[in-house]
Amino acid sequence: MRPRVILKLATSLDGRIATATGESQWITGPEARLQGHRLRATHDAILVGVETVLADDPELTVRLPDYAGTHPLRVVLDSRLRTPATAKVASGNTLIFTTAQPHPIGQAEVVAVAPNDGRPAISAVLDALAARNIGSILIEGGGRVAASFIQAGAVDAIEWFRAPMLLGGEGRPCIASLALAKLAHAPKFRRLGVEPVGDDLWERYARA
Ligand SMILES: NC(=O)c1ccc[n+]([C@@H]2O[C@H](COP(=O)([O-])OP(=O)(O)OC[C@H]3O[C@@H](n4cnc5c(N)ncnc54)[C@H](OP(=O)(O)O)[C@@H]3O)[C@@H](O)[C@H]2O)c1
């Protein structure tokens, strides 16, 4: 069975995840970030694109006080294997999906999958994760990877943390191009709930 896919967004009010120069830490406040760690603890894998690894060098671990559970598998989509061996995610418990000839990067496992436009095809990534008994994946950005999952019709739910700041049109969008010509083709979601977390708002959506 294909894993359940949850898209986690931490954005400005106008849906930006970083400034034009790529600065993103931190848009949301400590309470929202804590909730983000609680979300991580409830999923089998956390997935990001290689640009997020290069920009932020994220650890992608569960950092909660007194947490004694397991850490989700870390997954990176990286067609050309640009993930540095010194990246935090290269320290193990990580799977890198590529379309290039695989070679080890640090302690990370590198796996080649079928391409779509030269990049790991989302369907192939989901099949490979399902084969490893991954039941749920939290997508943590960036905008291009989020757009690929949306375009593949693979996003089942959205956990959206929205901070009361504006970053403007030059900021990096939380969802990159979907190449939509018609409103009728826009992916639609149903709101499940809204609650304040610190100064931010946490909106939860399921696929309509
Ligand atoms: N606010 C937040 O919480 C937050 C969270 C995450 C990221 N960010 C910010 O977002 C920015 C990075 O976002 P981004 O949109 O530029 O990049 P991204 O989505 O992190 O990574 C995109 C890259 O992933 C690779 N990729 C491999 N397979 C792919 C596929 N099937 N679909 C799409 N991409 C695929 C591509 O590079 P190759 O062609 O080389 O494979 C692509 O350029 C950074 O500035 C980061 O700080 C913010």
Q: In this predicted model, what pLDDT tens digit does every residue of 127-173 receive, in sequence order?
A: 999 999 999 999 999 999 999 999 999 999 999 999 999 999 999 99
Confidence of residue 56 (pLDDT cuts 50, 70, 90): very high
Q: Whose alpha carbon is nearest atom 7 of ligand 1?
A: 142
pTM above 0.85, yes or no: yes
State the pLDDT confidence band at 188, using cuts at 50, 70 and 90: very high
Q: What is the C-alpha to C-alpha distance for residues 8 and 157, in angstroms, rounded to an integer? A: 9
DSSP-derived letter for residue 38 is H
**Amino acid letter, 37:** H
CA distances (Å), 186 to each of 145, 177, 180, in order? 17, 12, 7
pLDDT digits (tens, 9 = 90+) for 95-122: 999 999 999 999 999 999 999 999 999 9
Whole-number pLDDT of residue 204? 98
pLDDT single digits (tens) 58-92: 999 999 999 999 999 999 999 999 999 999 999 99
Predicted local confidence at residue 160, as pLDDT: 98
pLDDT in tens, 25-36: 999 999 999 999
The pLDDT score that the predictor gives to residue 37 is 98
Beta strand pairing status for 45-49 and 136-139?
parallel
- Total residue count of the chain as it appears in this document: 208
What residue owns the CA closest to ligand 1's atom 5?
Answer: 141
Longest C-alpha distance within the chain, in Å? 49
Query: Please, which residues have CB within 8 angstroms of residue 73's CB and are 6 or more apart in sequence?
Result: 44, 45, 46, 93, 94, 95, 132, 134
pLDDT at 155: 98
Lining ligand 1 with CB less than 6 A are 10, 17-18, 22, 24, 27, 48-52, 55-56, 77-80, 82, 119-120, 122, 140-145, 148, 172, 176
Residue nearest atom 19 in ligand 1 by C-alpha distance: 142
CA distances from residue 90 to 69, 109, 157, 165 in whole angstroms, order as listed: 21, 9, 28, 33
Cis ω for the linkage preceding 160 (within 30 of 0): no
Q: What is the pLDDT of residue 93?
A: 98
pLDDT of residue 85: 98
